[in-house]
Amino acid sequence: MNKILVFILLSTLLAAGCAPKAEKATLKEGTAAFALAQEFAAIIPALGPDKETIVAEAKGMTISAAEVIQAIRNNMGIRVSQFKGFDAGQLKRVIEQGATTLAERKLLLAAAAKAKTVVTPEEFEKAMQAQYARAGGEQGFLDILKNAEVPIEHVKTSLRDSMVINRYLEGVVAAGVRVSEEDVRKAYEESKTNDKTASVRHLLLLTQGKTDAEKAAQRAKIEDLLARAKGGEDFTELAKKYSEDPGVKDNEGLYADFPRGQMVKPFEDAAFSVPVGQFSGVVETDFGYHILQVIDRKKETRSFEDARAEIETRLKETKQGTIREDHIKALKDKAKFKLIGL
């Protein structure tokens, strides 16, 4: 479980490809994207399909509201219904996040082209076949997209762009990841002194995309669930019945033996500080409201030689994420990327 959940509303959905010259995108009347822009304009007039609103810019590029809205519709299809009930502040965050993601991908694709990073037709076809296989075959995949109103050509472009970007970033990471013997030994000594892993049972009520009133209702609900758990009700059954973490179906809310650095900070802080056997209070993260029951924590008991490979791998994985983030930030800084207020 990477940072608790892998389904942040737009972080993955808007990680899709960019059409050539998309910054000049206009929305054609009668299309689904045009209709979506009309809906958005009822909340933020500047997002109307007749507007030429620029929401972000960088050296050599601009990102228009039309382009972001087109990307949202291409990626989400009929799931854009999730935006019904959004207020101006929530919608503004959606558009700004979309613009930022599109700009990052354009910058990464340009850097990849400069580095002569390529994905062969054979590699792309293999990746598409893997997508088909997950849906039980090509026709099943196409049927899913049709029902979701997501264009197949958009999916292909997005996948090809993502493969190029990932290959480029793999090269950046490989050139930058260095873990010294001193780093490994220091991490080993810390894992002998401090708890290395934690196991918790977890209940989550989501707040992303909800209004203030809906968030307040979720808060009241989770405080009631916490009182029930502390009053002796079976927390496993409460998690199975009420948790909105999709993983609960497979693990009954249990996340076992996860190391430091894997979860979002408020979650990790509770997991490594609440006494074993006890419940946290209500823990708030960007995902929502959580209750944790700490099941166990462990310190390192292996010898240095036995633990070396695992520690080195963990340190490299941590550094890989940092290198990727730093590189993307450097590209944005060099291009003087900035959001323009709606």
Least confident of 9-23, 105-119, 144-158: 9-23
Q: Which pLDDT value is given to residue 16? A: 47
pLDDT reading at 97 higher than 60: yes
Q: pLDDT tens, 142-178?
A: 999 999 999 999 999 999 999 999 999 999 998 888 8
Instruction: Categorize the per-residue pLDDT at 133 as very low, low, confident or very high, splitting at 50, 70 and 90.
Output: very high
DSSP helix/strand/coil, 278? coil
Using a pLDDT cut of 70, give the percent of the chain over it: 93
Query: Exposed, middle or buried by CB within 10 Å (0-12, 13-18, 19+), for 236?
Result: middle
Domains and CATH numbers, the chain: 22-176+327-339 (1.10.4030.10), 195-298 (3.10.50.40)
Q: Which pLDDT value is given to residue 18? A: 52
Q: pLDDT tens, 197-217?
A: 999 999 999 988 777 788 899
Average pLDDT for the chain: 89
Q: What is the pTM of this model?
A: 0.67
Q: Which pLDDT value is given to residue 286? A: 87
What number is the average pLDDT over the span 316-330?
88
**Distance between CA 51 and CA 122 in Å, rounded?**
42
Least confident of 17-21, 66-70, 99-103: 17-21
Q: Rounded to an integer, what is the distance from CA 9 to the centroid of its chain?
A: 8
Q: Which pLDDT value is given to residue 261? A: 79
Residue 201: partners with Cβ closer than 8 Å, 6 or more residues away: 235, 236, 239, 252, 253, 254, 255, 292, 293, 295
Q: Which pLDDT value is given to residue 11? A: 35
pLDDT reading at 306 higher than 80: yes
Token output for 324: 């990727």
Buried b (16+ CB within 10 A) or exposed e, 273-310: ebeeeebbebbebebbbbbbbbbebeebeeeeeebbee
Sheet with 61-64: list strands edge to edge: 61-64, 54-58, 338-339
Q: Are 293 and 278 in contact (CB under 8 A)?
A: yes
**Distance between CA 242 and CA 206 in Å, rounded?**
11
